[in-house]
Structure 1
Amino acid sequence: MMKTGVTITIRLKSQRLPRKVILPISGRPMVEHLIERLKTARLPDTIVLCTSTNPQDDELIPYAERTGISYFRGDEDDVLKRLLDAALRDGLDFIVSTTGDNPLTDPGYIDKTIERYKETDADYIYCPDLPFGTFSYGIKVDALRKVVGMKKERDTEIWGHYFKDSGQFHVEKLEPEECLRRPDIRLTVDEPVDYDLMKKIVFYYLLPGLKQVIGLLDEDPSLAEMNKGVVQRQAEVKEVLVEEDDQDS
């Protein structure tokens, strides 16, 4: 029987906004808001907090225990290997990858991602046109195993290109509802202004739906303007996968 899970990639090493994933929002750490939100997804069989073996991340484990989800500790820099090892430990066939700095990740699109996987057996599923910080990524574990075995880079904090750009995988793109197609809205937490915006949103709605959040920002444009000046950092792509037979050519 197929088993699916949601993974939360999370560390405490952030430099721009130190310890951001456990900063308080309406009296609760940000990561707990995310976990409670992910629990409302209907289709995943499990939720796994995926952190590193670095002692600085010890502090994250009680949040998993307190909220009743599992946790996994793995490679500090190789995020893909950490995700693969977590999936293999729990016998997962398909994972939906989220990150700890996106407390408004949409659970409805987690379910849609799993549904699309069941329909298509895709290796990689993404939905890029939702507000930034609310989408997640679906990965077939067999495809993840292939990438981990082929890649040469150890630092895989940025990894989507391995699946999308290599031409070796079955990739599916989810199209959001038109009212949710708002890539102009930034709902991730990287900078202090992102955190300030998130506190204001959760002040209005404790577990807001994405339509509520978009409606709030459209009604009060000053909120959406708070983090308009933040430029999302783009990591340099150093490696594109090649077929095994071509690696020595």
Structure 2
Amino acid sequence: MSGALRVGIVSQARMTSTRLPGKVLLRAGADSLLGWHLRRLRQTGLPVFLATTTNAADDVLAAFGAAHGLPVTRGDEHDVLGRFLLCARQHDLEAVVRVTSDCPLIAAELITEGVARYRAAADPRLYLSNVLQRTYPRGFDFEVFSRELLEEAARRATLPAEREHVTPYINQNRSGTVRLAHLTRATDASRYRLTVDTPEDFTLARALLADYNAGRLDCEEIIALLAAHPKLVALNAEVEQKKI
């Protein structure tokens, strides 16, 4: 692995979310949730790709990609792992940053730091993330891993949950040869929830983006904003994360 390693961000999206259908194209202030997500990812300077399904319901996401210069890979709705591999192959990626499109306030600087650490390690068996040891708000999640690990997972992962959630085969170290690394924050801020999976989540995201200009704030500024406004945090404090 070299300094010229081709790393791309792949974001997964679909319109048929069970708890909030069509959520990624809901408007929050000046843009859609997916629009804000894309803006923030592009701050990394890395190429960004969208992985969606072949379902007719997701034609609108392919159209979004075409309108925003965002390359789109389409595949099976339930085999998200297969979609990621197809995208990596189509664009000759040597390493992938996995994110999900329901994170409109995702932090570019965390991804940049994570990718820098990943490149410096020069280890194709490395998996680096901020999700296994969670100290950042849910909604800043990212994972970095090699095409080699992705190919291996696609060959060997057989459980439906492993195919749907992309990385369990890798980050559970099913092969026994993966090295895990963690990007953590000195003070735990994992109690905050910035992902959008329910109407309550959307109410918070819309308030942050439309009323508090959060789309222009970095990770630490957003955490400080939440700490200063407990009434905002209360908007989705009762939401339970879906279990894998």
TM-score, shorter chain, exceeding 0.5? yes
Cα distance in 2 for residues equivalent to 1:50 and 1:41: 19
User: Which one of 150, 168, 172 corresponds to residue 177 of structure 2?
Assistant: 168
Query: Could you tell me which residue of structure 2 aligns to residue 199 of structure 1?
Result: 206
Q: How does 1:142-157 map to 2 (within 5 A)?
A: 142-154=148-160, 156-157=163-164
Query: Could you tell me which residue of structure 1 aligns to residue 8 of structure 2?
Result: 5
What do residues 160-215 of structure 1 show as CA deviations (whole Å, max 9, x unaligned)? 33112223312211223x25x31111110011010000011112113321222111
Cα distance in 1 for residues equivalent to 2:164 and 2:126: 19
Q: What is the SS of the residue equivalent to 1:117?
A: helix
User: Is 1:184 the counterpart of 2:185 in the alignment?
Assistant: no
1:151 aligned partner, one-letter code? A
User: Is 1:19 the counterpart of 2:22 in the alignment?
Assistant: yes
2:100 aligned partner, one-letter code? T
CA drift at 1:216: 1.4
Cα distance in 2 for residues equivalent to 1:48 and 1:202: 23
- After TM superposition, what 4+ stretches of structure 1 lie above 2 angstroms from structure 2? 153-161
Equivalent residues of 1:163, 1:171 under 8 A apart: no
Equivalent residues of 2:136, 2:189 under 8 A apart: yes
Query: Could you tell me which residue of structure 1 aligns to residue 103 of structure 2?
Result: 102
Cα distance in 2 for residues equivalent to 1:102 and 1:76: 19
User: Is 1:211 the counterpart of 2:214 in the alignment?
Assistant: no
Equivalent residues of 2:5, 2:119 under 8 A apart: no
Query: Could you tell me which residue of structure 2 aligns to residue 234 of structure 1?
Result: 243
What do residues 104-157 of structure 1 show as CA deviations (whole Å, max 9, x unaligned)? 111111111211221112431111321011121112110010011011134522
TM-score w.r.t. length of structure 2:
0.90
Gaps of 5+ in 1: 236-249
Query: Could you tell me which residue of structure 1 aligns to residue 49 of structure 2?
Result: 48
Gaps of 5+ in 2: none
1:117 aligned partner, one-letter code? Y
2:52 aligned partner, one-letter code? T
Equivalent residues of 1:202, 1:208 under 8 A apart: no
Query: Could you tell me which residue of structure 1 aligns to residue 77 of structure 2?
Result: 76
What do residues 219-243 of structure 1 show as CA deviations (whole Å, max 9, x unaligned)? 11110111110111112xxxxxxxx
Q: What is the SS of the residue equivalent to 2:164?
A: coil
Equivalent residues of 1:38, 1:105 under 8 A apart: yes
Q: What is the SS of the residue equivalent to 2:51?
A: strand
The sequence identity of aligned pairs, in percent, is 28
What do residues 67-115 of structure 1 show as CA deviations (whole Å, max 9, x unaligned)? 2221111222111111011001100000101111111111111111211
TM-score w.r.t. length of structure 1:
0.88
Query: Could you tell me which residue of structure 1 aligns to residue 140 of structure 2?
Result: 134
Q: What is the SS of the residue equivalent to 1:227?
A: coil
